[in-house]
Each structure stands twice: as structure tokens, then as C-alpha cells.
Amino acid sequence: MADIIQLLPDHVANQIAAGEVVQRPASVVKELLENAIDAGANSIKLIVKDAGKALIQVIDNGKGMSATDARLSFERHATSKIRSAEDLFSLNTKGFRGEALASIAAIAHVELKTKLDDDELGTLIEIEGSTIKSQEVTVTPKGTSLSVKNLFFNIPARRNFLKSNNVELRHIIDEFHRVALAHPTITFAMYHNGSESFNLPESNYRQRIVNIFGGKTNEKLVPVEEETEVLKISGFVGKPEFAKRTKSEQFFFVNNRFIKSAYLNHAINSAYEGLVKDGSYPSYFLNLTVDPKTIDINIHPTKTEIKFDDEHTLYAILRSSVKHSLGQFNIAPVLDFDRDNNLDTPYDYKDKNASTPTIEVDRSFNPFQDEKPVSKSSGVSTSYRKEPAAQWESLYVGLESKGTKVEHDFSEVEFESESENASLFAEDKLVETTQTTYQLHNKYIISTIKSGMLILDQHRSHQRVLYEGFLKHLTVKEAVSQQLLFPLTLEFTSTEMESLRQLKEDLEHTGFVFSSFKDKAIEITGVPINVPESEVSIILEQLISDVEQEVPDSNFSATDLLAKSMSKSLAIKTGQSLTRLEQEHLVNSLFACKEPSVSPTNRITFITMSVDDFDKKFM
């Protein structure tokens, strides 16, 4: 039998390895930014075109590389970070496996410019699909500039799996945020398609958070500081009242490296237990410093998961630290001791003694006599008597005419009959005795039908009714708005604003009216009918959350997602009591829909039980 096992060519092996390291443009951004940090740079610039599909360039002022190191950096498993396997348990750097540049060079056009501080000239290397096209000396400033063009140019199937530019850009911004938050002492700048997206100067940790997520974030932060033998915690958590509908502001950093940990996230959620509503997520920006020997970083290709030696101890310390900070800085009630100036003693009366008021009573006063005001100057009090405008006898003037009593014949009096208007919902005894709907536990509506009984889920049913109504408005592009008395201003992060800009036109078709769309704030002057002003921020946050969770691609329907999100936010909630008329209206509206059997998320809205089903229960 012929041998069938063979060694893969280097370019094929590199492409396979690239699949682990480079999943999308954001993966390239992460690797290049981390390399710039390891090079000791204090200023890093990220340039992106077409969401990284056309160009990703990272420019730093780090120590640079020699010509030999520049050439060797593109070989597989070539790294300056470790020398032996034991070094894996004392890592203080980012990239250490030596696969990043080799994997990127296998699937893109790469151009590297680098120069050491002591050298007069630098090195220029151009690579296409792992093949070195040229290497020559060049004039370049100190540091490194690495450009990645035409990502996945030689793997078209992989390129076709990339999402739309908006989605890929959102992932790039997320990676940029993670690296920038972990290193507030480094200056970062990001440009997309020639326009500046972020410019983050060197600052402390709190200022870096505010610079990324907006000025309003400052008032939401509660500091967390704790230091023990096994763990040092520093950073900030958000106040419970500012909890968001998304997890976009949840960051864990272990030794300045962003990680994801469901276990530690549960510790934070348990500290917030009873303080945030269901479906809301608290914000946190926490730095954990542990001994590198007690963690294993190399358990995941993207190095976003870490294995801890003693997770239970970390869980307990983290939970108690966050809970202590919330109790110390936020949860304790705040008393307002601002005094009312109207209660202060006037300056002119500061040295005067209080005089006792005197009360005088005129015991000879008779209201049925003609009287004139009487004033007395004795003491400090003065009594006044009003002279009536006319004597009380004048009230009866005119009742008798010329001494003859006027007699009225009440038999000829006509009474004005009240107009009878037909009631929209006729309520009489007959209707009361033939009630056809009932509400069970403020969750289900029970209605009788010929074959038996109909049971509706009121929340899902109302979602279906609202969903089809919003879809109609969005399709026809004619919706009625109610103007707000005062404009409503809401602030969002740069990523959230990008999502809202995509949906602005569709939001206007549902009834929203925007007077301004700034970098990190919007001003709303009109909202759809039946949408309370207090619900506007909740609706928009829910919409942004849905956009991020759906991760829409080029075939994504913004209209459908917007209708789903608004119907979910405005639908009758479970536990809300409905009147009989509201119950009947909901039943009738549901069965007037095109698809009454399922909610917008394809969940059952009602079930039926026939008389035979009841008979079987009693057998």
C-alpha cells in the first residue's frame, strides 16, 4: 500500500495557522497593537481603511528592529519574548508565540518599515502571501510602521465570510478600546477612512475611561481599591442606576491583558444582586494584578482566557471588594442640607425683640346693623369693620311685585332632555353576564371559543400586534409623531452612535424626530405616538443591544430589527393588569394580524384546548 501521509508545504501550513490567529481584521489590529506595546512605544497610531479589509497600519515610536530581526520576525515561532518553556509562567509581555506576523504575512500584502534609534537608515520589507518580494534600506523615523493590505487576498472563501464594514469596524473599535484601556499611559490615535475616530492622550485610568466613553461616564464611576497577598484590584465599577442593556462596558484586565471570564463576571453580578434590574448589566473597568506564576495564559489562541490557580479565592475577594465600594460610595443615602433662604431672619430685625401680638374683640359688633370701620391706635393691633355693600333686606327685593305675590304654574315647565350618545363600548347587564375574556395571574388571557378555550400570552401577543404596526409605518414611511415640550438629550459612546447613525432614517420613519446628531450625543424633539418620554432611552439602548447581538451582515434588514426591538420594549409586560375591554381589544388585534400564531421572535403566542382535552383530564 502506498504511503499517504505527507508534509504540508510551508505556505499551506502558514495559511492553516493563520486561521487560528487571524479570524477577522480585528485580530490583526490586536496583534499589531500588542507588538507595538511590547516594543516600548509611548505613542501608537492605528490607520484603518474599509474596516480593515483594504488597509490596517500601525505606527509606533518603539525601539524598532535591526535588518536581521526584521527579516526573522516573519518566520514561524520566531520571538524575542521567551527562551524556554519555563518562561511561559513568568510572562510580562503580550505576543510570545511568534506566529502573529508569519500568519498575517501568509494571507495579506505586508509592508514593514523599521529603524533602531542608533541607526541612520532603516529597513523596508515587502511580503505577499509568505513570499518576500523585496528587502532594502530606507529612510524612516525611529520605531516601526507595519501595513497590512488586502487581507485574505489569497483565500477568497475566507474573505467572503467577513461581515459588513460596519460590523467589522465595530470589532476593530472593541479591540482598540481593550488595548487603550489597559495602557492609559500610552498615547493612542485611530483613523478610519481618513477621519479621526479617537485621540487619546496620556492620562490616568479614570481620564482614559472618560475619553473613550464620554464625559457623562465620570459621574457613573465608583472607585474600587483592594490589595491582598494573592491579588491587587484597582479600577472602577458603575453605579447601579446607570446599568446598561448591553455588556459593552465590562472589562477585566489581568496584568494589563484583557481577558474574558464568566466565573469572575458572576462575582461582579452577585455583588450587584438586588441593585440592578433584570436584563441590565453593570459597567466595570477592573485591573487585577496577580503573580504571573499563578496563571496560565497560553490556553486559548486569542489569549483572552486565563486559567487561575485559585479561582475561589479570587471570586471571594473580588465580590467583597466591589460590594464594599458600592456601599461606601454609592448605596448610602445622601442627605440634602441646603437651607431655604426664606426662613432666615432679615438683617434689620437682628437686634430687635419680638413683640407679643394683642387680640381685641368687639363684643358689641352686630353684622345686621349699619357699621363703619373703627380703628384704634392703642397697642400694635388694629381692628377693621367692613361696611356691607347693601343691607341684608335688599336680598329679597324684587320677589314681590307691587305687593302681589307671583304664582308660577309648574305644570307648564319643560325640562331639557339630555342628548343620548351611543357608547363606543356598550356596557349593560347583558354584556356583564356574557364576559368572554379573563386574565390569569396577570400573564395570560383566557377566551372562550366554540371548540373550547383559547389561552394567550399577553406579552408575546402584544409584541406581534406592535411589530406588524411598526413594520407598516416603516414600509409606508409615514408615521405620526408627538412633539416634546422640551428637547430630550441623550449621550452614547462612539460605537453606539455609529449604530444609531445607521438606523437614523428608519427611526425617523417610525416617528422619531432628531434635531441634532453630534459625536456622542443626540437631541430628540419628537417621539412616536404612545411612546412615553421616559421610555425613549430604554428603547434606544435595547435597539443598540439588539443590533450588537444580531451581528447583522449585508443581508441584514434594519427595518425588521427596529420593529422587533421597539415592539419588545413597548409591549405589555408580564404582571400588568388589564381591564376587560383591553383584554378583548388585544385578542381582536392579535387575530387581525397576518401571523397571529407566533411572536416576532418566532415564539408561540397562544394555545387552544378543546372540550375533548378537558374530558380526557376527567377520565
Q: What is the DSSP string of 319-339?
A: HHHHHHHHIIIIISPPP--PP
When pLDDT is averaged across residues 503-521 and rounded to a whole number, the result is 82
Count of other CB atoms within 10 angstroms of residue 103 = 25
The whole-number pLDDT of residue 372 equals 57
Place of cell 472589562: 251
Is residue 390 a part of any domain in this protein? Answer: no
Last residue of one domain, picked from the residues 177, 200, 223 = 200
3-state secondary structure of 616: helix
Q: Which helix (H) or strand (E) holds 103?
A: helix 100-106
Q: Verify that 184 and 221 share a domain, yes or no.
A: no
On whether the CB atoms of residues 548 and 499 are closer than 8 A, the answer is: yes
On whether the CB atoms of residues 131 and 115 are closer than 8 A, the answer is: no
Q: Verify that 152 and 33 share a domain, yes or no.
A: yes
Q: Verify that 170 and 216 share a domain, yes or no.
A: no
On whether the CB atoms of residues 266 and 299 are closer than 8 A, the answer is: no
Q: Which residues contact 278 (CB under 8 A, 6 or more apart)?
A: none
Give the span between the Cα atoms of 442 and 460, in whole angstroms. Answer: 13
The whole-number pLDDT of residue 379 equals 47
Q: Verify that 135 and 220 share a domain, yes or no.
A: no
C-alpha cell at 303: 489569549
CATH of the domain at 545: 3.30.1370.100
Q: Verify that 141 and 69 share a domain, yes or no.
A: yes
The whole-number pLDDT of residue 179 equals 93
Model-level pTM?
A: 0.68
C-alpha cell at 357: 401680638
Last residue of one domain, picked from the residues 309, 328, 347 = 328
Is residue 414 a part of any domain in this protein? Answer: no
Between 426 and 532, whose confidence is greater? Answer: 532
Res. 554: pLDDT tops 90: no
Q: How confident is the model at residue 528 (pLDDT cuts 50, 70, 90)?
A: confident
As a whole-number percent, the residues of the chain with pLDDT over 90 amount to 23
Is residue 45 a part of any domain in this protein? Answer: yes
Last residue of one domain, picked from the residues 328, 357, 384 = 328
Q: Verify that 124 and 223 share a domain, yes or no.
A: no
Place of cell 528592529: 65
Place of cell 480593515: 52
Between 424 and 321, whose confidence is greater? Answer: 321
The whole-number pLDDT of residue 429 equals 45
Q: How confident is the model at residue 224 (pLDDT cuts 50, 70, 90)?
A: very high
Instruction: Output the CA–CA distances (angstroms, integers) from residue 79 to 8, 123, 574, in the order listed.
Output: 23, 18, 58
Range of the domain at 522: 433-550+557-619
| Phi, psi values for residue 244, rounded to 5° | -105, 165
Q: Verify that 138 and 110 share a domain, yes or no.
A: yes
CATH of the domain at 182: 3.30.565.10
Give the span between the Cα atoms of 308 and 413, in whole angstroms. Answer: 97
Between 557 and 135, whose confidence is greater? Answer: 135
On whether the CB atoms of residues 559 and 471 are closer than 8 A, the answer is: yes
Which of 44-53, 281-290, 397-406 bottoms out in mean pLDDT, i.e. has the lowest?
397-406
Res. 44: pLDDT tops 90: yes
Q: Verify that 188 and 219 share a domain, yes or no.
A: no
Q: Verify that 158 and 224 share a domain, yes or no.
A: no
Could you give the maximum distance between any two Cα atoms of the chain, in Å? 143
The whole-number pLDDT of residue 358 equals 82
Q: Verify that 152 and 115 share a domain, yes or no.
A: yes
CATH of the domain at 225: 3.30.230.10
Give the span between the Cα atoms of 248 and 269, in whole angstroms. Answer: 15
Instruction: Output the CA–CA distances (angstroms, integers) from residue 99 to 75, 80, 95, 311, in the order listed.
Output: 8, 12, 9, 30
Is residue 155 a part of any domain in this protein? Answer: yes
Q: Per residue in 387-399, pLDDT tens?
A: 555 555 666 666 6
If one counts the domains in the chain, the total is: 3
Give the span between the Cα atoms of 439 and 542, in whole angstroms. Answer: 28
Between 497 and 29, whose confidence is greater? Answer: 29
Give the span between the Cα atoms of 366 and 493, in whole angstroms. Answer: 77
3-state secondary structure of 534: helix
Average pLDDT, the chain: 80
Between 162 and 378, whose confidence is greater? Answer: 162
Q: Verify that 485 and 599 share a domain, yes or no.
A: yes
Q: Verify that 168 and 316 share a domain, yes or no.
A: no
